[in-house]
């Protein structure tokens, strides 16, 4: 996310300057803190490891609730 841009809106759009690492982490923390309100997603884990086979990570892992309907 090195090219992420954030903006402040107050009748006009103004770019908020910042370094990519600081902006990305603070945005991730803000987003994770409000996943339920923003998307209806329950937060499970931050920086979740995908294990030794894939050797990656999931920045934000959450769970939605699905309602099953039967007829």
pLDDT at 68 (0 to 100): 65
pLDDT above 80: residue 58: yes
The pLDDT, as a whole number, for residue 20 is 65
**pTM strictly above 0.75:** no
pLDDT at 67 over 70: no
pLDDT tens digit string along 2-43? 467 778 898 999 988 866 666 778 888 999 999 999 999 999
**Given this model, what pLDDT does residue 1 score?**
42
Q: DSSP letters along 8-66, please?
A: EESSSEEEE---HHHHHHHHHHHHHHTHHHHHS-EEEEEEEE-HHHH--EEEEEEE---
């Amino acid at each position: 996310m090195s090219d992420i841009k954030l903006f402040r809106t107050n009748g006009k759009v103004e770019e908020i300057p910042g370094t990519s690492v600081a902006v990305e982490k603070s945005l991730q923390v803000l987003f994770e803190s409000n996943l339920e309100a923003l998307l209806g997603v329950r937060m499970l884990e931050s920086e979740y490891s995908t294990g030794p086979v894939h050797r990656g990570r999931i920045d934000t892992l959450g769970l939605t609730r699905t309602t099953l309907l039967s007829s």
